Amino acid sequence: MTLLAAVLPAASGAQYPVIADFSHDNGWIWLLKSVAIIVFLLTSVLIAIWFERKVVGRMQVRPGPNVHGPFGLLQSLADAMKLLFKEDITVKAADKLVYIVAPMIAVFCSLLTYAVIPFGPAVSMFGIVTPLQLTDFPVAILYILACASVGVYGIVLGGWSSGSTYPLLGAVRSTAQVISYELAMGLSLVSVFIIAGSMSTSQIVGSQTTVWWFLPLLPAFVIYIISMVGETNRLPFDLPEAEGELVSGYMTEYSSMKFAWFFLAEYINMLNVSAVATTLFFGGWRAPWPLSAINDGMFNLGWWPALWFIGKVWLFMFLFVWIRGTLLRFRYDQFMSFGWKVLIPASLGWVVCVSVVQGVRQFSGLDLRAILFGLAGVVLVGVLVSFLIPEKKPQPGPGAGGPPTVFDPFAGGYPVPPMPGQVLPPSPRAQRAAARAASVADQTETPQVTQEVHGG
C-alpha cells in the first residue's frame, strides 16, 4: 500500500470502521468515565502550573518552585488553597449576576471538550467492554469548536460586567481574537475531515493506522499549532490579558475563587487544544513507531494507549511553555494582520489544494503522493515569503511635509492620539513650568543689567 493510498483511502470507496462501540455501557460506566475525566483535568491543571513554573525557571537559569513538597510539587496546591480562602471582593459598579456567572461559563465550557476525546481503544471495566472515551458522534469536532466558541463568552461577559475600562478593553480584544483565530483553526481542520472522511474523533484516530496526519498535512498542522496558541490567550497572543498594558485585562476586577475559575479555564483549554492536536494530527492514542510494530501492535492494546495519549498531550503542553519563555507579546495590529493576512489565506489555499488532490484521486486513480507533499512545500514556502514582503508605509497625515500643526485632542469629546505631522499642545503643567523658568531667568538677568549700568 502506497502512502497516498493510506492518506486518501476514501478514493477507492473504502470507509473506516466505527472504532468506538458504546452499546454495552450503562449508567455506572458513564458516571465513572465522567468523574475520571474531571479528576484528570483538575489534576493535570495543578501539574501544568508547577510544570510551567519549573520549565520557565530553568530557561531563566533559576530553580523555580522547590520549597513546598518534593521538587516543589505542592506549590500549585498551596496557591489553590490561597485563592480558595482569599477575601472575595465584588465591584460596586459591576453587573452582579453576569459578573458571577461569567467565570462559571468559562469553566463549564472548558470541561466539555474531553467528552469526545478518545483516550484509548476498548478495554474491560468491571466485566464490561467499553472504549476509553465518554461518547462520540459523527460531528464531534464541530461540538469541540462550538464549546470553545461559547467558552469565550465567559471572557467577554466577565470584562463587560466588571464596569471598568481595562476589563472592557480585554473583552473587546478577546472577541476579535476568537473571530480571527477560530477561523484559521477551523479551516486547518477541514483538510483532516477531507482526508479522513469523517468528523468523528474515534474514526479520525482509526484513519491514522498507517500514517499520522501531521506528515502529509504539515501546513494544516503548523496553522493549527499557531491558532491554538491564539485561541488559549497564551503568549505571544495574550492580548486579552496583557498585564503590561491592561493590568490584567478581563480579570482585573476579579479576586478569590472567581479569579481562580478563569485561571482554571485557561489551563483546561490548553489541555483541550493539545488533546485535539493529538487526536487529529498525532495519531491519537496510537503508539509511535517502532513501538507500534512490535509483536503485532501489542502497545496499541489494553491500557497502554492511554499512556501514549497523555504523553503526546504533555508534549504540546511543553510547546506552550517553550513559546512563553521564548517569544514576546505581539502588538495588536501585528496580531490581527497575522491572523487575517497570513493564517486564513494559507488555510484556504491549503484546503483548496487538498480538495483538488482528493478529487483528482477519486476520478482518475492517479498516484499523487509526490503532488501532495509538493503542495505542502509550496504552501509553507508561500507563508515564509509572506513574512519578507515589506509592510505598506502609512499615508502621511495632515501637515506632513511642512511644519507640524497643533491640534486639540479633545475636540471630538474623547481623547485621540496625534496623526503623523501633528503635535499636541503643551500641557498646562508644561506651560507653568516654562513660565517659572522664564521668571527665574528674568530675575537672574535683571541684577546683572543693573550692576553693569551702575558700574558704567
Q: What is the pLDDT along the chain (456 residues), one digit of tens a residue?
A: 233 333 344 433 344 445 677 778 788 888 999 999 999 999 999 999 999 999 989 888 888 888 888 888 888 888 888 888 888 787 888 888 888 888 899 899 899 999 999 988 888 888 888 888 888 888 899 999 888 888 888 888 888 888 888 888 888 888 788 788 888 888 999 989 988 888 889 889 888 888 888 888 888 999 999 988 888 888 788 877 776 677 777 888 888 888 888 888 889 999 999 999 999 998 888 888 777 667 656 677 778 888 999 999 999 999 999 998 888 887 777 888 888 888 898 899 889 888 888 787 777 666 556 666 666 777 778 777 877 777 666 555 554 555 667 777 777 776 777 777 777 777 778 778 888 888 887 777 665 545 554 554
User: pLDDT value at position 13?
Assistant: 35
Strands 422-423 and 405-406, bridge-based pairing? parallel
Grid cell for residue 433: 513650568
d(CA 45, CA 317): 11
Residue in the structure block whose three cell numbers are 450503562: 26
Helix (H, G, I), strand (E, B) or coil at 123: strand
Grid cell for residue 387: 513574512
* Closest to 354 measured CA to CA, from 205, 206, 188, 212: 188
Tell me whether residue 189 is exposed, middle or buried, using C-beta atoms within 10 angstroms of its C-beta: 0 to 12, 13 to 18, 19 or more: buried
d(CA 261, CA 103): 6
